[in-house]
A and B are shown apart, each in its own frame.
Chain A
């Protein structure tokens, strides 16, 4: 098997708050392999963004603190690098696209200039060459009139255009890893479709491994090869995309799927997850999902013992004490929704 390009091992990121320490990321481990798209899905406060912010060294310290773990990028532990060393990795070997393109571009600098700068910081590129290459990149991501657009400011770009600009910047140095954190959440659906196409094209061009962080299971289903599901700062399930959607082995993953209204199906009813997402300040004991879990039914073990992430199938892992009861649980939910989740046909 090929070596992972990024390997997060036992990462703990915590924040000091007036109400106590918040463990935003709680012993998280996952790998990203060359060329693949890894989808990371979870609701607000699940720790999906804080994990990659930790990878990029973008956690403000204090109040934040990475108190445990390793982040191996091509074998080097990013947590042991100095700020200067990390700056050489960030934006060069690892590209980033964030949710809000207006706040991640500098409003007083021309867009083209900012993209060219991203190249010139990392390599000795003369101005005229950087300009030409930037215009090429803008054309690649589908910005019309790229030459004229080079000299415009972010406010002259629409939301979708800005996000294209961000993608152009992220791939300017042909990174080995691209991290896209909710890249299309702020965009309308027809613009989202355009930006996703650009992301796919950029990926083909650079063959970068991609981490796609989103709360949208639809995007995960369309884009990801493998999936990491997070809840309450922990990884609760990982597997390939087909397995996650059709043979989930964690009740939270199942709950997400049964909560979704479907464009492609008439459902009798949605089967939501009961209760509220946990407060990270006061995370439930044992399995953080237990107060909302239909499968656990308040069993002692769920309340007292944190379930480890264990192998439940080929490259499929789940953190639940009662995974062997999931088949019955799925059948129950299927009858309520009036549709099939578990399918054998490929």
Chain B
């Protein structure tokens, strides 16, 4: 390690960099809250806050993929960014292998970042246009390790080959690549430090379908090869179904339902999950009309001023007085996975489209 490596007492964080056993819980998020202040008036005083993430809890095991799914403004990206401390959480706890990260001083966050890296949605905006690909992918190693220039060079070539680019691509600049290739560069950069976990923030949303499949397959292979845990943030439920082991559905800053992939897709119990599943177009003309259609009314309310009680009640066909008065907690409610609805009820909305096996 170089002289600038973080001044953390070695004993205290000794296990941070040990590879975890598969199935070991590596990330525990509890009551995570992130509010953004709204300032107004001449004095720019705080006049309110956008409650982007408002008390969510989940955990993630080594080698596992947890999907965080929801529509724009539900707080899924803010969650990802708060976890890796690109944003400072307002309150709550983020424990990585038992070590509290939410309140760690900025200087010490670096050590944690070696193990938890992020891939962003927009491969155009997340790569520095003035650096060559070699420098982009090599930069994390320059900052975090004392590898020699030659060793870094070799590792960059290996990484580029691993993500399906050729080592000669290293001398080029980001603008010379297509969207899918840029996303591969972003993935190579995230892998440079051999992390234990990746936050994938809509990594395939900006890509054409043929390229999206290439990147999805690459991510799956890399996970098997390196035993990576993924927090996979996406709005596309089909991608989530293909890649995730477990799924958390978010709405207006809250998790409304969480469970194993099968539990969520076969037996959703929250009305919002059911509405989402019934709204996604299925690419098979023979299944037209085979599925129940739930078309929600209205738009998502503003997270600056969320509805009282259940946040989904303004668009929910089941809403009663209780929903406005009392916030439903994320609890099992007699089902095999938790749901945050007073009137949770299993409804296999995809039935008729899903072959049994």
Contact = CB atoms under 8 A, between A and B. Distances in A.
A197 B280 CA distance: 13
A270 B204 CA distance: 14
Contacts of A216: 281
Contact of B210 (A192, A224, A256, A261): A256
Interface string B241-268: 1110000000000000000000001000
Given A190-B296, A194-B295, A276-B180, A264 B282 contact: yes
A216 B283 CA distance: 9
Contacts of A190: 71, 275-276, 279, 295-296, 315
A264 B279 contact: no
A274 B296 CA distance: 39
B235 interface: yes
Nearest to A340: B355
A2 interface: no
A346 B281 CA distance: 19
Contacts, number: 143
Given A161-B299, A221-B285, A260 B279 contact: no
Interface stretch (B4-12, B32-40, B211-219): B211-219
Contacts of A267: 242
A264 B71 CA distance: 20
Contacts of A188: 71-72, 235, 300
B327 to A, nearest CB: 22
A259 B213 contact: yes
A272 B295 contact: no
Contacts of B350: 263-264
Nearest to B240: A261
A262 interface: yes
Given A193-B293, A222-B281, A263-B277, 16 more contacts: A43-B208, A44-B208, A188-B235, A191-B71, A193-B279, A217-B283, A218-B281, A222-B288, A245-B283, A256-B210, A261-B213, A263-B237, A263-B280, A266-B241, A270-B217, A343-B286
Given A260-B238, A263-B241, A189 B282 contact: no
Contacts of B297: 194
Interface of A: 43-44, 144, 158, 160-161, 188-194, 197, 215-222, 224, 241-242, 245-246, 255-267, 269-274, 276-277, 343, 346
Q: Interface centre among A160, A242, A246, A266, by most B CB within 10 Å?
A: A266
B239 A219 contact: no
B280 A189 contact: yes
Nearest to A252: B210
Contacts of B298: 144
A275 to B, nearest CB: 9
A264 B209 contact: no
A218 B243 CA distance: 18
Nearest to B74: A188
B106 interface: no
Contacts of B225: none
Contacts of A220: 283
A218 B178 contact: no
B241 A246 contact: no
A276 B211 contact: yes
Contacts of B283: 217-218, 220-221, 245, 257, 260, 262
B242 A264 contact: no
A188 to B, nearest CB: 4
Q: What are the nearest 6 A-B pairs in CB distance?
A: A218-B281, A272-B213, A259-B213, A261-B242, A188-B71, A273-B210
Contact of A270 (B71, B216, B280): B216
Given A43-B210, A189-B237, A262-B242, A219 B281 contact: yes
B353 interface: yes
Interface string B193-211: 0000000000000001111
A194 B284 contact: no
